[in-house]
Chain A
Amino acid sequence: MSVFNQPRKRVIQAIILGMVVLIITRLFFLQIVEKKYAKLADANAVLRKVVYPSRGIIYDRQNRAILSNDVLYDLVVTPASAKNIDTAYLCKILNIDKEEFRKRIINAIVRNGRVRQSVFAALLPAEVFGQLQESMYLFQPGFELVPRQIRSYPYAAAANILGYIGEISPERLKDTTYSSYNSGDYLGLAGLERTYEAVLMGTRGIQYLVKDNLNRPQGAYENGEFDSAAIAGKNLRLSLDIELQQFGEKLMKGKMGSIVAIDPQTGGILAMVSAPTFDPNLLTGSYRSTNSVLLNRDTTKPTFNRAIQATYPPGSTFKPMIALVGLDEGVITPSFGYPCGGAYYGCSRPIKCEHHDAGHAANLRLALSHSCNSYFSHVYRLCVDASKFGGIRAGGLQKWSDYMNSFGFGHRIGVDVPSEARGIVPTPAFYDKMYKGSWNSCTSVFLGIGQGELTLTPLQMANAMCIVANRGSYYIPHFVKSIDNDDTHLLDKYKEKHVVAHISDTAYSAVIHGMTDVVESGTGRVAQIEGITIGGKTGTAENYGIVDGKRTKLKNHAAFVAFAPAENARIAVAVIVENSGFGARYAAPIASLMMEKYLKDSISTKRQALMKTVMETVTLDPAMVAKSKLDSLNNSAIIKKNGTK
């Protein structure tokens, strides 16, 4: 057998030799015949220049550029070549002393070694750059000016949404997911800049330039045969309306809280305000790290995106959702009424209602428009205690929390900016732990009026309004409508329609009628806009905080949720104004003004006065404002901008 196959050994040996000869021939041409490779590698003959791509621009829904790219320069040093230069002169330009100079050189060596470039002075201010550029020839080749792109924000709005870019950290550089970055490169660190880093960043290019004996570039090497072009990052087009966003930020000035406005037909976010906020221009350029520390330390926490990171008990704004569950479960019908006489007495402790006149909760529509606490406490208990689930602990609460999950509560919805909070939807396990197994529908009855353990983010509240307005479906709320020349699948999940449970159309009609009544004749009349039917719901969330180690009742949060026009909604809004009392007072006007601005493009003369009052109202705790440096910081950004222009 072995003898029979003998020649095959020769064939295999021939294949191996053939391949190796092929490789050696190629090597012979590469290494000996061709001279241009050797020249390319010779730093004295050919200058290798990295070309940074321009980062993608972000546009709003009307194709206005929300941010633009500016160029600042880094002074970089190659320690091994930084010899025999006028150190004193360089120090004078940079305004540092010799000791600092030495420290920075040593720092550079420690970080990147002697023969590689390190940043010596980052993002030089314009006047320093000017001086340095003139006398740069004195410090070459050890020092070099490298352009860096930084962002600037003409509208000075939407800071928390857009995020910011900054130098890559040494920890990230070691991570293989960031292997295409080099030390000194910039990347998105928060907001949309971070989520869409992969499309915004673009691809670096490389240029080979022939140098003369004085190290000056003289033109392309081999007609650019070896160059590769930089590819610009892709542009993002948002559903955000930057004017609406600015308007929302003005309305929320002097208050703490947030506004979320969504287009229910696409899930595109129209505005997302978190107040107090800051000027995004603070986190760009030479002063980024200083400002970043100040902002993070500030008492008003401006970098905390309240619209997605803060969670609140929704209060009465939650009642439409309870009504939907009740209708769907068949425990009530739209004509179901409850004889409320000013309080709910179903459980041992009475729950107060704002109304006590007979018949204010004679049917669902009336109960919603009067926001009757008794009615919804009762409906909640009917739902969870329904005998078909075998009672609240056997399955009633589980079923209820399943409904809540399908409404988008209790989990991250998946918006395209990072750090979204989950909120809390109590489950049987949650109460088992909290009450050590001893609880019933009375223990949790506050869930019926949006109080108690349930908490939602403003984003989740606004999304719930999309569900009501769309009669049972929603798209995951998102900012980015499209990416230019998109070849990713990043946006796929935002194009998918989510259908909620299978609640009937009549149930939605009943709830929507109740909500239009809220604005027509109920608790939310202040939200009326001429010529537009609005569905809305006021809410006042009781607010408990820990003061001096004790659970204390603090001033209530005002909430308002709405959508308009009711018959074919184009905008759904949720507004929370912290510590400002009853929902109709501030939250409802803010929501209404936002809707008017979006639907009618301007505020009618009749309502200008209301707009002015809202903008000028301050509900922030004066003690907190006194300690905050936010206003002076924001003003400094404005001065800086005007100063440089």
Chain B
Amino acid sequence: MNRSQAKLTQGIDWPIVGLYLALVIIGIMSIFAAEYRGDDNVWQNIIHLNKNYSRQMMWFGISLVLASVIWLTDSKFFTATSNLLYAGGLLLLLLVLGIGKDVKGSHSWLVIGGFQFQPAELTKLCTNLALAKYLSSQETDFTKLRSRLIAAAIALIPAGIIILQDETGLALVYFSFFLVMFREGLPGILLVIAFSGIVLVLSALLVDKYVLFTIFSVITALVIYFMRREIKRKRSRLLVIIGVYAFCSVFVMFVVPFAFTKVLKDYQVRRIEVMLGKENDPKATYNTRQSMIAIGSGGFWGKGYLKGTQTRFDFVPEQSTDFIFCTVGEDFGFLGSVIFLGLYVALLFRIIFVAERQRSTYSRVYAYGVASIIFFHLAINISMTIGLAPVIGIPLPLVSYGGSSLMTFTMLIFIMLRLDADRQMVLR
């Protein structure tokens, strides 16, 4: 008896399992806090599955079954079916475009027997598997541009389809795979360029384009003046400088205005402008403002569990899904929030630790993928509840209410644990 049990769980990384369980349970408690009203009959609600917390408990149960099934699966199954699952995921996304149902303005839901299901969540897993498969294959040389472009395509094709479903938030998550690619050798300069790009976009939005153009011209002139000796020695440098200058100017003068009038949806533009403080749209600021009031009113110690006044009286919208962090912030205050974030940091660092101890590239890429996805969700979700990022509807991993999201993150993590347990094998 004892021996067989030891065998069954042999190689499992208990710290990750512990952190996983802690976050899911905190999630259910937070959803409960967001919904509970003084005189609810809790047991009846749980049995009838008519509240979000009771349904989340059910999803948790289903997730645990899924986790067990994954744990009992052979690691080679995942490497063997990676590409197939990816193709299946893409098909599912296209299917949703055709027969999906509109829920809150996004066309990304399938309805199966009364339950709504969002394939865009699941394809994160498929994409992660496919990326691991591709980067670990023997033919792939990640120092070559061709391989890098293919890897980028694997990550961004699903994002493209998801944008067509009007779920821009979930599509953005796919950019987190660039963190994985960075780990696998994508030049660091790309991260710097990406960062500069963000700064460029922000400045293009905040500062008048003609002012920016003048600033660029002055900077370029100064750079050319101070580097005139180097330029004399090597003419190509001048071309690079002029090239960067031309790109930045065109970007600011034409690309950003075009994107804002033609590509982005009206509501997206409004949200971004609200976040930047350019526009004061009551509808768009309402959510963020209520969320900030809830979190801010928590103070240092918090109001205590189930004592929050903001989250419990429906002042914060979407409070059991996208704005679940409000409950933590209000009921447990600054101290609780820091501990809560600490749990995530511990989970992320542990995943990175696990990733680095893999012998197979496949498992390492996969584990980094898991860390990147969780990190991206965490950063965007929390930032939006405290007014650091525009309101992009993506859930807080393991904590937000939602079956698709909880099951996807469960599968992501447990496939990684399975691969980790088999780290002595070489997996491709």
Residues of A within 8 A of B (CB): 1-2, 5, 8-9, 11-13, 15-17, 19-20, 22-24, 26-28, 30-32, 34, 36-38, 40-43, 48, 80, 109, 113-116, 176, 179, 182, 203, 205-206, 226, 228-229, 231, 487
Contact = CB atoms under 8 A, between A and B. Distances in A.
11 contacts: A8-B182, A9-B356, A12-B368, A15-B179, A27-B337, A113-B38, A113-B40, A115-B38, A176-B103, A228-B282, A231-B282
B38 A27 contact: no
B299 interface: yes
Contacts of A176: 103-104
A19 B379 contact: yes
Nearest to A174: B50
Contacts of A22: 388
B386 A23 contact: yes
Leading 4 A-B pairs by shortest Cβ distance: A37-B296, A228-B282, A41-B297, A113-B37
B294 A41 contact: yes
B184 interface: yes
Contacts of A116: 37, 313-314
A226 B285 CA distance: 10
A216 to B, nearest CB: 21
A37 B297 contact: yes
A23 B185 contact: no
Contact of A30 (B179, B185, B292, B361): B292
B386 A30 contact: yes
B333 A12 contact: no
A336 B38 CA distance: 84
B183 A9 contact: yes
Interface string B323-345: 00000011001100110010011
B345 A17 contact: yes
**Most chain A CB atoms below 10 A, which of B184, B266, B289:** B289
B382 A23 contact: yes
A28 B334 contact: yes
B356 A38 contact: no
Nearest to A1: B361
A41 B293 CA distance: 6
B383 A23 contact: yes
Given A23-B383, A113-B38, A34 B364 contact: no
Contact of B299 (A2, A19, A38, A80): A38
B388 A205 contact: no
A12 B310 contact: no
Given A24-B338, A27-B337, A114-B39, A16 B375 contact: yes
Nearest to B376: A19
B152 to A, nearest CB: 18
Contacts of A34: 296
Interface string B36-73: 01111000000000000000000000000000000000
B299 A179 contact: no
B45 to A, nearest CB: 13
Given A12-B183, A37-B296, A24 B341 contact: yes
Question: Which of B293, B296, B349 has its CB near the most chain A CB atoms (within 10 A)?
Answer: B296
A20 B341 contact: yes
Contacts of A206: 286
Contact of B184 (A5, A48, A114): A5
B371 to A, nearest CB: 8
Contact of B352 (A12, A28, A31): A12
B345 A205 contact: no
Given A20-B344, A41-B297, 5 more contacts: A9-B356, A27-B338, A37-B295, A43-B309, A114-B39
A228 B289 contact: yes
A91 B376 CA distance: 58
Contacts of A114: 37-39
Contacts of B352: 9, 12-13
Contacts of B314: 116, 182
B298 interface: yes
Main secondary structure of the interface of A (DSSP, over half): helix
A19 B39 CA distance: 40
B341 A226 contact: no
Contacts of B38: 80, 113-115
A17 B11 CA distance: 28
B283 interface: yes
Contacts of B188: 8, 11
B264 to A, nearest CB: 15
A274 B188 CA distance: 74
B155 to A, nearest CB: 16
A21 to B, nearest CB: 10
B296 A13 contact: no
A48 B185 CA distance: 54
Given A37-B292, A37-B293, A31 B299 contact: yes
Contacts of B295: 27, 30-31, 37
Contact of B297 (A9, A38, A115, A179): A38
Contacts of B293: 37, 40-41, 226
Given A8-B182, A13-B352, A205-B282, A31 B37 contact: no
B258 interface: no
Contacts of A15: 179
A37 B297 CA distance: 5
Nearest to B104: A176
Given A2-B364, A12-B352, A23-B388, A31 B298 contact: yes
Nearest to A26: B386
B300 interface: yes
Contacts of B388: 22-23, 26
A307 B212 CA distance: 62
Interface in B178-193: 179, 182-185, 188
A16 B368 CA distance: 13
B90 interface: no
Given A16-B345, A37-B296, A231-B282, A109 B39 contact: yes
B341 A23 contact: yes
A20 B375 CA distance: 10
Given A26-B386, A115-B313, A228-B282, A31 B345 contact: no
B129 interface: no
B348 A16 contact: yes
Interface in B78-127: 103-104
A13 B349 contact: yes
A10 B379 CA distance: 18
B37 A203 contact: no
Given A31-B337, A226-B289, A12 B282 contact: no
Interface in B147-177: none
Interface in B11-33: none
A37 B40 CA distance: 29
A16 B347 CA distance: 11
A483 to B, nearest CB: 16
Contacts of B382: 23
Contacts of A38: 296-297, 299
Nearest to A15: B179
Contacts of A16: 345, 348-349, 375
B394 to A, nearest CB: 15
A32 B183 contact: no
Contacts of B379: 19, 23
Nearest to B179: A12
A228 B371 CA distance: 39
B39 A41 contact: no
A31 B289 contact: no
B183 to A, nearest CB: 5
Given A16-B375, A115-B313, A5 B103 contact: no
A303 B39 CA distance: 42
A200 to B, nearest CB: 16
Nearest to B349: A13
Nearest to A112: B37
Contacts of B386: 23, 26-27, 30
B224 to A, nearest CB: 32
A207 B122 CA distance: 42
A8 B185 CA distance: 9
B305 to A, nearest CB: 16
